Chain A
Amino acid sequence: MLEDLTLKFDKALKKVTGQGRLTEQNISDTMRELRRVLLDADVNYKVAKSFIDDVKIKALGEEVLASVSPGQMITKILYDELTRLMGGTRSELTFSASGPTIILMVGLQGSGKTTFSAKLAKYLKDKNRKVLLTAADVYRPAAKDQLKTLGTQIEIPVFSIDESKDAVLISQESVKFAVANGLNTIIVDTAGRLHVDDVLMDEIKRIKAAIKPTEILFVVDSMTGQDAVNSAKAFHDAVDFDGVVLTKLDGDSRGGSALSIKAVVDVPIKFSSLGEKLDSIEIFHPDRLASRILGKGDVISLVEKAQIQYDEREAEDLEKKLLSNNFNFEDFLKQIKMIKKMGSLKSLLGMIPGLGTNLKNVDVDDKQLIKVESIIQSMTKEERGNPKILNGSRRMRIAKGSGNSIQDINRLIKQFKEMGKMMKMFKNNKNLQRAMKKGKGK
């Protein structure tokens, strides 16, 4: 996600990195490139302009430190500004203190409201809330069927009135239904509407007035261009929404709208939605996104993701084994299984600092993992525990057994041996330091 932006920031900063100090001239070159970066990323023209002005003033002003390099300094200023622009700290959903919590979803056509409604419903159900989904999109053909199908998948009831075309009435009735049935959270999915459509904008205002939602979430496609701020502003003027949801963030080279919307309507971005699976929903972390944009990597996300999936004892055992150099194919297989639980390799690699920008042209294939798995699974227990005994005929047998070529087997064993060498280097800090020095050529 947002790899392109990171890549371009790096490029723009190359000019400043390595120069003695910041001057009006060298910073204006960088700022011009930065402007280009932001505009290419669909940051609103005016937002980009004021953002760059801020960065420029800070970079040339008193906050300049003599002890750090220009590149580091600008990165820091950019990071702080980006974080500030995108909302400072993360902001969570508000729940009603008394009575049911009502969440109203609004947005343009095709922004992803229905899919996100289902994701949010599942997310809240997993947090032990009793959720009802309301199908209040009475215009798009089969919209309520879509919500019903999704509701069945995640085992959440869906309220609809098949014979009614009155979205206000349906919303009202769904609240009554929820209260009568002991459900404490209602997510109302509404029709996509254009912010210039007065009739439908009036409808959404009437829905709001009728059910008095606890939260109104504006769903916006992260691929939207310069107009994202205009539609956000129009919806904000009409219903005064409380949060923004950015969808389709699993695509490439976007994020401009994330930068702009907060700046223009001053409403926090609360969730990001990154895929078609119903659990691909994340709380939006502005600081992490700023970090990711600047190529610092999203270490916190990676750690958290790993923590959820990684059995801690297992991890401890593995660490011991790694350090004692007893790591074998059996452990390797366990590790692969853990990685697979965490998500795709590419998404994991994208979170590692410094790798983000280099990842653009690397095609990380998760199928490789499956291949490695199949090879290891074709080994006997003895072979897994003691890879040294893998001679030619054993390798041939494994190749045939796993449906791979002998070259694949050889490659894996070679890689495994190299891993072993690396493990040795990590054994203690002294060794590691020496290895790193060696790597630098001195």
Chain B
Amino acid sequence: MFKNFNLDKLKNGLSKTKKRLFDGIQEAISTKAVIDEDILDELEEILISSDIGVDTAMNVIKNTRAELYYESDRSKLNITQIIKNELESILLKDDKIASDKSSIIDKKPHVILVVGVNGAGKTTTIGKLAYNYKNAGLNVLIASADTFRAAANEQLEIWANRAGVKIIQKSTGADPSSVVFEALENAKLNNVDVVLIDTAGRLHTKSNLMKELEKIRNVITKVIPHAPNEVFLVVDGNSGQNALVQANEFSKSTKLTGLIVTKLDGTAKGGVIIQISAEQKIPIKYIGVGEGIDDLQDFDSKEFIEALFS
């Protein structure tokens, strides 16, 4: 739905990933004419070092090995293509198209709940989402349901101002569900198209905080039966294997509909995306590739892979 997808920026932001993942692979391949176990071991190291996870790495290697068994063309180019296809098939499986504008207006308010662990980048992402929806010509309202972290309200307010959208907030320590309730009532009265709900960061291991999320979700459905339309989990692109557990646990309490992966401009990884896509049934919706308000992009697995290879 966001038309600001910019391949150059993506390529730029992901150049670190590319450097590690595929320059490495090509280097491994180009030094030897024939694929042997050493090269496959080296490929495995490159994949694992990119946070792709042991299982996914093993699978990609296994499938590549199988392909190569009958393959007479073991050139660098061809092997790259085989791996590219492998990764692409993993990513494309869960690829879904983000909601378009007309369906949002059909059934409004379109309610988006944003959850995640501490420091993943939820608030910044909300700011960027608000800006994008506003630019798409929609009437946006932000609900500041992080009533826990010091100055969370102030931070979100600055983002709301930058994006030029309204914000509903209460004092620190207030019941987050009450903020949500008020925001949704406000949205119904004022013909709001999109409601973005920011929540406090919480570790997925804290059962009381996860129950709080369940409650927020229930309140949303009570006020607006068709909502929440989306529940986004924000995952730090620097995360290691724990991102999978996070996705699992948050899904249990809030039924996630999508993932947003942040901080992909700074990390040498990005492998976590491939892994989540392979092991979870939740599609990746957006990626964050910078600190600017427009540095949030639609996740497009095909272009993502192309950007990695080009």
Chain A residues with CB under 8 Å of chain B are 36, 39-42, 44-46, 108-112, 139-143, 145-150, 153, 194-197, 221, 223-228, 230-231, 248, 250-254, 256-257, 276, 363
Contact of A224 among B49, B206, B238 (CB under 8 A): B238
Query: In whole angstroms, how far apart are the Cα atoms of A108 and B45 in the complex?
Result: 25
Chain A, residue nearest B150 (CB): A149
Query: In whole angstroms, how far apart are the Cα atoms of A230 and B268 in the complex?
Result: 8
Contact string against A for B residues 205-217, beta-carbon threshold 8 Å, 1 for contact and 0 otherwise: 1110000000000
Question: A141-B158, A248-B203, A252-B205 in contact; A226/B150 too (CB < 8 A)?
Answer: no
Chain B, residue nearest A252 (CB): B205
Given A221-B236, A254-B242, 17 other A-B residues pairs in contact with their CB atoms under 8 A: A44-B49, A110-B119, A140-B155, A141-B158, A145-B150, A146-B155, A223-B242, A225-B240, A228-B238, A228-B240, A248-B117, A248-B118, A250-B203, A250-B206, A253-B242, A253-B245, A256-B240
Query: In whole angstroms, how far apart are the Cα atoms of A153 and B151 in the complex?
Result: 12
Q: Would B48 and A45 count as touching, CB distance under 8 A? A: yes
Query: In whole angstroms, how far apart are the Cα atoms of A146 and B148 in the complex?
Result: 11
Q: Would A226 and B51 count as touching, CB distance under 8 A? A: yes
Question: A140-B155, A146-B155, A221-B119 in contact; A196/B239 too (CB < 8 A)?
Answer: no
Q: Would B45 and A109 count as touching, CB distance under 8 A? A: no
Q: Would B272 and A111 count as touching, CB distance under 8 A? A: no
Q: Which of B49, B153, B240, B267 counts the most A-chain CB atoms under 10 A from its CB?
A: B240
Q: Would B159 and A141 count as touching, CB distance under 8 A? A: yes
Residues in B with CB closer than 8 Å to A197 are: 266
Residues in A with CB closer than 8 Å to B107 are: none
Q: Would A251 and B121 count as touching, CB distance under 8 A? A: no
Question: How many inter-chain contacts with C-beta < 8 Å in the A-B complex?
Answer: 131
Residues in B with CB closer than 8 Å to A195 are: 266
Chain B residues with CB under 8 Å of chain A are 16, 45, 48-51, 54, 117-121, 148-155, 157-159, 172, 203-207, 236, 238-243, 245, 263, 265-269, 271-272, 291
Question: A110-B120, A149-B150 in contact; A252/B266 too (CB < 8 A)?
Answer: no
Q: Would B205 and A110 count as touching, CB distance under 8 A? A: no
Q: Would B272 and A225 count as touching, CB distance under 8 A? A: yes
Nearest chain B CB to A230 CB, angstrom units: 6
Query: In whole angstroms, how far apart are the Cα atoms of A254 and B239 in the complex?
Result: 11
Contact of B48 among A39, A142, A248 (CB under 8 A): A39
Q: Would A225 and B151 count as touching, CB distance under 8 A? A: no
Residues in B with CB closer than 8 Å to A228 are: 238, 240
Chain A, residue nearest B207 (CB): A363
Q: Would A226 and B118 count as touching, CB distance under 8 A? A: no
Q: Would B265 and A194 count as touching, CB distance under 8 A? A: yes
Question: A141-B154, A145-B154 in contact; A251/B242 too (CB < 8 A)?
Answer: yes
